[in-house]
Amino acid sequence: MPSKFKLPIIDVSPFTTDSSDRAAKLEVAKQIHKACRDVGFFYLTGHNIPQEIMDKTLKLGYEFFHLPDEEKFNYSITKQDNARGYQRLGEGVTKYQKDWNEALDFYKPVPRTHPLALKKLPIGGENQWPEKPSEFRAVFNEYKDYMLRLGDQVMRAIALSLGLEENFFNKFLDDCFWVMRISGYPDLRSASGKDRVGFSLGEHTGDNLYLIFIHDDTKGALQVQTSDGDWINADPLQGAFVVNICDMLNVWTNNIYKSTLHRVVHKGDSYRVTVPFFYEPNYDAKVEPLEACLQIDPVKHHEPIIFGEHLLKKVSGNFEIIDHNFL
Ligand SMILES: N=C(N)NCCCC[C@H](N)C(=O)O
Ligand SMILES: O=C(O)CCC(=O)C(=O)O
Ligand SMILES: [Fe+2]
């Protein structure tokens, strides 16, 4: 059903340039508050990230997914820790149904002394960087650095939007446990009968803090649920990122900010590529409803969560094959 609802577009340049114009920042914070409260999804402009690198990531993702299967399987998550690396079509699972996308996942590296590595748990291994295309590793490392900077800048805006000091979240985020995914979606109609479950990526909310996200120019694929229960398209807007508020911000704000249901249904001739970057708290950050939000509604809607434990639980449920005997 077509909806008149439009996702908000927010220009965050007062936070991404050297401006110290507090009034301009507060104005952005006001828009962010409204968008996070009412929708949990918005377009972000004024990010100060070169279009060239955004285009390059999508192009390299496309090229990687078009390599022969044998080449891609060299980087399979099952050769590492069942989390870092390549997942073939149907290997990812949402709500117990196969997703019809393929993906490459990278996480912040962990030292060998990290509990995840010592216990040989998912995410405890090493990132698997493809050798082809040859620029892949360098470009995505550069992109990751851009995303970490933007993530910090947007988080400052979010802090102001909650009436907090700009740097309020620093202590929770100064060792951001980032996740970067490169995701490829063939036409869902190409899936054979038993694999065609109706969604390319089943409906879910983000298990993370928030997601900064680019996608190619395919329309009609990413869908977002509005507070009326309608599904609307979050089509690409040239030069803009899409931001999706995820579960950790929902917990911190005691439900004031929405972690919005979304899904992907890509039925079209093109091969769709997206690059979601999950900006995260530190692995051991304790996330619980903030005092400032409890003043508005004193009923605590969430118990404290250690972010890393939460992430591990979610990632472990994300695949059919869980084989802990890696390495
Ligand atoms: N952080 C990652 N990898 N995001 C992808 C989430 C896809 C939904 C997930 N399978 C679920 O069941 O929630
Ligand atoms: O690729 C997309 O369009 C959505 C990705 C997404 O929601 C996710 O990876 O969590
Ligand atoms: Fe998602």
Give tens-digit pLDDT for 56-87.
Answer: 999 999 999 999 999 999 999 999 999 999 99
Check whether 111 has a pLDDT greater than 70.
Answer: yes
pLDDT of residue 327: 32
In b/e form, how buried is each residue of 205-236, taking b as 16+ CB within 10 angstroms?
bbbbbbbbbbbbebeebbbbbbeeeeebebbb
pLDDT of residue 149: 96
**Atom 5 of ligand 2, residue of closest alpha carbon:** 276
| Nearest alpha-carbon partner for 93 in 7, 191, 169, 204 | 204
Out of 276-285, 290-299, 311-320, least confident range: 311-320
**Atom 3 of ligand 2, residue of closest alpha carbon:** 222
Give the angle 101-103-105 at the CA atoms, nearest 5°.
Answer: 150
The larger pLDDT score, comparing residue 32 to residue 320, is at 32
18 band by pLDDT with thresholds 50, 70 and 90: confident
As a whole number, mean pLDDT of residues 96-101 equals 88
24 band by pLDDT with thresholds 50, 70 and 90: very high
**Rounded to whole angstroms, how far apart are CA atoms 88 and 186?**
12
Q: Given ligand 2 and candidates 106, 201, 215, 259, which is best to mutate, with the most ligand atoms within 8 Å of its CB?
A: 201
Check whether 323 has a pLDDT greater than 50.
Answer: no
**Rounded to whole angstroms, how far apart are CA atoms 236 and 225?**
16
pLDDT of residue 105: 98
Check whether 3 has a pLDDT greater than 70.
Answer: no
As a whole number, mean pLDDT of residues 229-237 equals 94
pLDDT of residue 4: 67
**Atom 8 of ligand 2, residue of closest alpha carbon:** 276
Percent of the chain with pLDDT over 90: 83
Question: Largest Cα–Cα distance in the chain?
Answer: 57
pLDDT of residue 208: 77
pLDDT of residue 53: 96
320 band by pLDDT with thresholds 50, 70 and 90: low
Residue boundaries of the structural domains of the chain:
9-320
| Nearest alpha-carbon partner for 147 in 230, 210, 204 | 210
Check whether 313 has a pLDDT greater than 80.
Answer: yes
| Nearest alpha-carbon partner for 251 in 295, 212, 213, 307 | 307
pLDDT of residue 19: 74
CB 100 within 8 A of CB 187: no
CB 101 within 8 A of CB 184: yes
Asked if the bond preceding 133 is cis, omega within 30° of 0, the reply is yes
Ligand nearest to the CA of 97: 1
Whether this prediction's pTM lies above 0.90 is answered by yes
CB atoms within 10 A of CB 79: 16
Ligand 1 contacts (CB < 6 A) are 92, 94, 179, 181, 201, 204, 278, 318
Strand partners, 238: none
As a whole number, mean pLDDT of residues 83-94 equals 93
Out of 30-44, 123-137, 185-199, 260-274, least confident range: 185-199
How many angstroms separate the alpha carbon of residue 131 from the centre of ligand 1? 26
Check whether 213 has a pLDDT greater than 90.
Answer: no
Check whether 316 has a pLDDT greater than 90.
Answer: no
Percent of the chain with pLDDT over 70: 94
**Atom 11 of ligand 1, residue of closest alpha carbon:** 94
Task: Report the chain's mean pLDDT, rounded to a whole number.
Answer: 92
Ligand nearest to the CA of 242: 2
Nearest atom (ligand 2) to Cα of 262: 7
CB 28 within 8 A of CB 10: yes
Q: Give me the CATH code for the 9-320 domain, please.
A: 2.60.120.330
Question: Can you give the length of the chain in residues?
Answer: 327
Check whether 192 has a pLDDT greater than 80.
Answer: no
> Which residues neighbour 42 within 8 Å (Cβ) at sequence distance 6 or greater?
7, 8, 9, 10, 32, 35, 36, 242, 243
